[in-house]
Amino acid sequence: MHKKRIKGFTLIELLVVIAIISMLAAILFPVFARARESARKTSCLSNLKQVGLGLIMYTQDYDEKYPARIMGTWGDHTTYKQQSDASAPGYVFITYDGTTGGSGRWVSWMDMVYPYIKSTQLFVCPSAPDPGTGPRNLNPSYGYNQYASQCSMSSVDQPSLTMIAMDYNAIYSLNINQLGVESLLTGTGNTAVVHHLDGANVLFFDGHAKWFGRNSGAFRGGETGHTSSDSIFYNPQGTINY
């Protein structure tokens, strides 16, 4: 009587199967990661659009002027108004003006917009989530354009071309003169503006939001080595288009 032979994989066949699975994983995982980041980019755009609506509603109530980046005399933290409401952005996030002692729970542009949007989570990019519970005590995800501070709507030359806020996880107010465009584009970690698929989301004065690649002419203001004051992208009264 012959014994029935049990068929199975040989070692070589098993290694071939493992190699094929590994190759498929190497191909598909980056695709999945890109799709996930694309979804986060879209969610971030939605955040910025809602923040933009809040800014527009604020201007309608305050003589068509955009909010100040911080309530008080910029650079003099002794004049800043303290935020005591634990649910408000000024309490949840760090507000810092770059000077010694200029870091605290101050009332900022986010607090002025907050009554219109009712959520601090709209200031948090899904690619930079809150690491814990309770007060974030971290920077918000979006930097407010320094030139927008107390700017009147009528003074904005080209609202659809000028940035009012954008992806920037380093400080709540974006001071381009202080930081420099190149450092924004080439920085690493929380100092980089590049958050989504080698690019960043931007909110404009007219309320629309759009994604730009890192090498976009918008970030560079139309010429190499430009200063922010002469770029329409950064300065409402700028002259260089993109």
Domain-embedded: residue 16: no
Domain-embedded: residue 14: no
78 neighbors 24 (Cβ within 8 angstroms): no
Domain-embedded: residue 32: no
Domain-embedded: residue 138: yes
What is the pLDDT at residue 192? Answer: 56
Does the pTM surpass 0.75? The reply is yes
What is the pLDDT at residue 133? Answer: 45
| Cα separation, 133 vs 94, whole angstroms | 15
Domain-embedded: residue 73: yes
Number of neighbours of residue 133 by Cβ within 10 angstroms: 6
| Cα separation, 43 vs 94, whole angstroms | 23
User: What is the token pair recorded at 236?
Assistant: 């409402």
In the chain, the number of structural domains is 1
Q: Which domain holds residue 219?
A: 43-230
Domain-embedded: residue 19: no
Mean pLDDT by 10 residues, the chain (242 residues): 61 78 74 77 94 96 94 88 91 82 88 94 81 58 90 92 86 65 57 72 94 80 63 84 76
What is the pLDDT at residue 242? Answer: 74
34 neighbors 42 (Cβ within 8 angstroms): no
What is the pLDDT at residue 69? Answer: 92
Side-chain-facing half-sphere of 57: CA atoms under 13 Å: 13
Domain-embedded: residue 131: yes
User: What is the token pair recorded at 7?
Assistant: 């068929």
What is the pLDDT at residue 28? Answer: 67
| Cα separation, 170 vs 202, whole angstroms | 15
Domain-embedded: residue 159: yes
| Cα separation, 226 vs 110, whole angstroms | 29
DSSP assignment of 56-105 equals HHHHHHTTTBPPPSBSS-TT-GGGPPBP--TTSHHHHB-EE-SSTT-EES
